[in-house]
Structure 1
C-alpha cells in the first residue's frame, strides 16, 4: 500500500475500551479543519488546551479537552490535534468514524513515528526506543531505552560521523586537488590508522549493545542436572508459581518448561529440562537429548546436584561455560555430606528450593549480571536487532577498506565504501545530505580556493 504523506491520519492513542478517558490523535495539515467540522466553537490555531463540545449533526455527543499543536511543535512535526474524550467503545469509535467521514484516514501501524522521523523530529534509534520503552522488562532496560529516546546516542554517533567525514574529505581532497599534496592525514598509513580507530569504536558499540540486548531480552538460563535433584522445584521457587509439575517420581519432567524472572537490571529466561539419566522411555530420551542440545545456546547454566546425583559427564560439557553449581535439598544432608560436596565444587551455592530458601542463589546471579556500568557508558547502546545489523555492515565495510589499502587499491575505491558507511549513519540519524557535508568540510577545513 502506497502511503500518502499529505493525508491527515487518525488513530486512538489509547486502547479502545471502557475507561475514564480515550485519546484520539490526528496528524496532518488538515487536522484542525477536520476536527472543526464536529465543533460549533472552532479551535484556535495555537499551541494550547481548549475545551469544546462535540456534535454529530445537531446532537451533542461529548464535551472534551482538545490539545492543538501547530508550527512544528508536535511529535510528528505536523499540525496535530489530540481529543481527550470520555472513554467508552461506542463513543470513541463514533468520534473516529465522524472524523474519517470528514477527511481523515486511519493511520497505519507506526505511521505517527514514521512521520516524526521523516520530518526530522526523531531518528531511527529514537523511533525504535519508543517500542523498546514500552516493552522494557527491567529497570536497566527502562533507563537505557529512555536515554535512547532522549537522544543520548546522538552525540556519540555524531562524533563517529565527524571522524568519518573528515577522513572522506581528506581522501577526496587528495583525489580532486592533487596539487594539495600536503593535506595532513591523507597518506595510506594515516588513513589506515584512522580506519583502525573507527573499527575499534564500532566494535565497542557492537559488544556493548550485544551485552545489553542479552540482558533486555532475557538471559537464557538452563536448569540442568540428574533426575530428582529438584530442578522443577527450583524453577517454581524462582518464578514464585507452580509452573512445573513436582513429584518424587524420577523422570517427571520430559520436556522443557519455561518461565521468566525479572531482576532490577536484567531478566532471566529460565528453562527447566528433563533430568539426565539412562532410560528406555523414548519420549523421555527425546527430552534428555533436547536438554543436552540447549547447553550450547544458553548464556548461563544452573547445574543442580545432590549427594549421589552428580552427572560428571554433563559437568565436563558445561564447566567451561558460564555456570553456577547449585546444591539443592540441603535440608536433607548432614554437615559432613555438604562439606564433601563443597570440596569438589568451590563456588557451590546451597539452596532448599522446596522450602523456598533460594536467597544465596539470587545473590549469586545478581553478582554475575551487575550491569549498572552500562548507564554510565559513553558508548551508544543499540537496542534493536536491525540497527545492530547496520553496525555490523559498517564494521565489514571498514575492514574491507583496510584490506583494500593493504592490497594497494586506489583511495577512490576506499572512499566509495566510506560513503556507504556515511549513508548508513545518516539513515540512523535521520540526515540525508551526505555529499553536501563532505563538500562543506573540504572547503571549510582545508581552505580550498581561499
Structure 2
C-alpha cells in the first residue's frame, strides 16, 4: 500500500490550455510546502487566500488557495488546493515546484484512497465517485451521485445488523443449548428472519444486474438482408457517417461498431454484413460473422423492407431470433401507407418504423428504452451497484444465505448454519470496506483518474 504519511500533489483538472487549473496538495506537510512558495504565508486554518507564488525571488503566478485542516477535508488530511492560471507549462511548473519542496506526485485515485483509509468514505462511496466520473448516461450518473453521497448505503448497514442478530441468536443456542425457549431462536423464526434478509439481497442483486447492463452498454446487433438500410440506421443512431452506405448489395462485408448513449441506457452497436445467398468467399465470411453476432447479442435490431419481409432469407433470420430479444425495424417507412403500417403491426410483435435516410429513428429509440428501462431503476430510491466486483460480493452473500436456509430446512446442525452466515457477514464487510486486503484496495483505486 502507498505510504500515506507522505504529502502528495496532483492536478485535479486536465493539464491543458484553459482559464483555470486546479492542483491539490494533501498530507501533514501541505501548509509547510505551500508556504515555501509564498512571501506572505498562510496559517493552518480553513480559509480562502489570494497569494502570489514565487520560485525563490521570481514571480510564478497569482493564485487562489483554499485550505482545509485535518480531519475536516475530503482526504481527512491537511489539504491545500491551488487555483492557478491554466496552461500546460504553468500548471506543470507549479506542480514541479511543490514536488521540489517536499511533496511527491500522487498515484491514480490516491486522494480517494486516503479518504477511504481515513474513514471519510466507505468503499461503496469510493466506487460511486468513479462511477460518477465515468458515467455514460443519466442512469449511471444518478447511481454514481447516490453512491458517492452514501444516500442509500444504510441498507447494507441494516443488512449487516439483521444478519448479526441472527448469528448472535444461533450462537446463544450453541453456547446455551438448555435455553431452547429464547425468543427468536426457534427454527421457524430463524428461517423467517433469514428469508427476509435473502429477499432484500435478491432485490439488490436484481436491480444491480439490470443497471450494470444499461450503464456499461447493451451489445446490440443490427442485422438483416443486404440493402435494407442497416448501415444507414447505424449512422443515424450515431449521428455520424461511420459506415459506408451505397445501393450496391454486399457493401458491408465485416462488422462496424459504435456506441450510443441514451438517457438511461447505453448501446454497443454492431452493424453486420447483409445476409443473402452469395458465392463471394469474402462476403460469405462476413455473413457467418453476422449469424455469430446474432447469437452473442443481448438485443437484435432486425432491419427489413416491407416488400420482402417474409421471403426465405428473412425467414431464416427469424428462425435465428426465436430465443432472442429483438425489435423488428421496418425501414424506409416513408414509402409505406398507413394501411400497410397497420397490417404489419397486426402481424408482428415489437415492430417500429424508421426512415434512416431522413433521420427518423425516434420510434426505435423509444422502443429500446421501453424494453430496457424499468421504474425499478429510474424511480427507485434503493441502493444500486454498477461495479462487477461489488455485485460479485452480493452474489457471494446470496449464495451463503441460501445455503444456510437450505441447511436449516434440512435439519442440519445449527453450528454448520452459522459458518455460512459468518461468511456472508464477512462479504458484506468487504463490500463496504470494513474488511479488506491491502493489495486489493490498491488495485481498486488504480483504475481511478489522476487527481481523484
TM-score (norm 2): 0.89
- The equivalent of 1:256 in structure 2 is 255
Which residue does the alignment assign to 1:16?
Answer: 15
Q: Matched residue of 2:21: which SS? A: strand
Matched, 1:368 2:371: yes
* Aligned equivalents of 1:333, 1:417: Cα separation in 2: 62
Which range is displaced more, 51-60 or 360-369? 360-369
Residue matched to 1:177: 176
SS of the aligned residue for 1:296 comes to helix
The RMSD of aligned alpha carbons is: 2.2
- 1:252 offset after TM fit, Å? 1.0
Partner of 2:40: 41
Answer yes or no: is 1:418 the counterpart of 2:421. Answer: yes
User: Does residue 308 of the first structure (1) align with residue 308 of the second (2)?
Assistant: yes
Deviation at 1:262, TM superposition (A): 2.2
Q: CA deviation at 1:322?
A: 2.0
Moved more, 29-38 or 194-203: 194-203
* Conserved? CA contact 1:118–1:430, under 8 Å: no
Q: Is the 8 A contact 1:265 1:371 kept in 2?
A: no
Mapped partners of 1:393, 1:58: distance in 2 = 61
The DSSP-based 3-state class of the residue aligned with 1:152 is: coil
Question: Contact 2:326 / 2:350 at 8 angstroms: preserved in 1?
Answer: no
Q: Partners of 1:116 and 1:39 in 2: how far apart?
A: 28
Post-superposition offset of 1:339 = 6.1
Residues 1:397 and 2:390 are matched in the alignment: no
**TM superposition shift of 1:427:** 2.7
In the TM superposition, 1:74-89 aligns within 5 A as 74-89=73-88
Deviations 1:391-422 (A, max 9, x none): 11111221222333345443233223222222
349-358 or 266-275: bigger deviation: 349-358
1:6 and 2:5 are equivalent in the alignment = yes
- How many residue pairs were aligned? 432
**Residues 207-242 of structure 1, C-alpha deviation per residue, up to 9 Å, x if partnerless?**
111111111112222211111111111111222211
**What is the aligned partner in structure 1 of residue 233 from structure 2?**
234
> Structure 1 residues 92, 297: CA separation in 2 closer, same or farther (over 3 Å shift)?
same
Q: Which residue pairs with 1:445 in the alignment?
A: none
Question: Aligned partners of 1:342 and 1:374: how far apart in 2?
Answer: 29
C-alpha distance in 2 between matches for 1:427 and 1:248: 57
Map of 1:117 onto structure 2: 116
C-alpha offsets along residues 281-305 of structure 1, whole Å, 9 cap, x if unaligned?
2222222222212223322221111
CA contact (8 A) 1:39 1:53 kept: yes
Moved more, 158-167 or 317-326: 317-326
What residue in structure 1 maps to residue 198 of structure 2?
199
**Where do 5+ consecutive residues of structure 1 fail to align?**
434-450
**Closer, same or farther in 2 for the Cα pair 1:265/1:372, shift >3 Å?**
farther
Q: Do the aligned partners of 1:229 and 1:309 also contact (CA within 8 Å) in 2?
A: no
Report 1:255-334 matches (<5 A).
Answer: 255-306=254-305, 307-310=307-310, 311-333=314-336
1:386 corresponds to which residue? 389
1:167-199 superposed Cα distances (whole Å, 9 cap, x missing partner):
111112222334543322223333233222222
The structural deviation recorded for 1:13 is 0.9
Unaligned runs of 5+ in 2: 437-452
1:432/1:243 CA distance change after superposition, 3 Å = closer
Give 1:158 deviation, angstroms.
1.4
* Contact 1:120 1:430 survives alignment (8 Å): no
Q: Deviations over 1:253-275 (max 9, x none)?
A: 11111222222222222211111
Alignment of 1:64 with 2:67, yes or no, is no
Counterpart of 1:429 in structure 2 is 432
Q: TM-score, normalised by structure 1?
A: 0.90
User: 1:417 & 1:296 partners in 2: Cα distance?
Assistant: 38
Relative contact order, higher structure (CA 8 A, sep 6+)? 2
Pair 1:376–1:347, CA change in 2 (3 A): closer
Query: Who is 1:446 aligned against?
Result: none
Task: Report the secondary structure of 1:294's partner residue.
Answer: helix
